[in-house]
Amino acid sequence: MSSNKSRILVLICGSLACVTLDYWLVTTGHYRLPLFLFVAFVLAITLVFRKLRPPTRSPDEVHKGLLNASSGFRRLGFIGAFGIVVYILTSSRDDFRGIATWGIVLIYLWGAFIVWCYFWAARSYRRKANASSLITKQREDE
């Protein structure tokens, strides 16, 4: 895994864990511990970032990373679309009791929008990968 992906993954997962633990501490009546947890999180992130190797600028690795990102977002899109279809096929009227019809439509539209965003991001990364490969080919020809 490239260093940039590792940094983003560590930051996102650590942030989610920090927010979840802070929420739990506040709901259980501990009001000073979330501050200490946040400071510990910031210190841990700086230590982890120092251990990671520096980001690469190699055109081959950048191209490979862009293609990996593209296929990952495409896979997320297919998983999301499959999940929406499965939920539509297996849901019953009791799942939506108390929700207005426009709310149900809005829920499905939001899911479809997220799936579309995944496919849009995959296409965007694929175009960037193709553009980076063209740039490296032009540099090699010169």
- The whole-number pLDDT of residue 137 equals 64
- Note the pLDDT tens digit of each residue in 56-113: 777 788 888 888 889 988 999 999 999 999 988 888 777 778 888 888 889 889 999 9
pLDDT above 90 covers a percentage of the chain that reads: 22
- Note the pLDDT tens digit of each residue in 2-47: 556 667 777 877 888 888 888 888 888 888 888 898 899 889 888 8
Q: Which of 60, 46, 59, 40 is nearest to 10 (CA)?
A: 46
Query: How many domains does the chain contain in total?
Result: 2
- Assess whether 65 and 29 both reside in one domain: no
- Assess whether 100 and 64 both reside in one domain: yes
SS3 124: helix
Kindly state the tokens that stand for 133.
């490969």
Kindly state the tokens that stand for 18.
């920090």
Q: Which of 60, 55, 57 is nearest to 129 (CA)?
A: 60
- The whole-number pLDDT of residue 90 equals 87
- The whole-number pLDDT of residue 63 equals 84
Structural domain boundaries, residue 48: 1-55
- Assess whether 88 and 24 both reside in one domain: no
- The whole-number pLDDT of residue 53 equals 76
- The whole-number pLDDT of residue 126 equals 92
Q: Which of 56, 80, 68 is nearest to 128 (CA)?
A: 68
- The whole-number pLDDT of residue 87 equals 87
- The whole-number pLDDT of residue 95 equals 78
- The whole-number pLDDT of residue 132 equals 75
- The whole-number pLDDT of residue 66 equals 85
- Assess whether 14 and 29 both reside in one domain: yes
Domain end residue (candidates: 40, 55, 70): 55
- Assess whether 93 and 141 both reside in one domain: yes
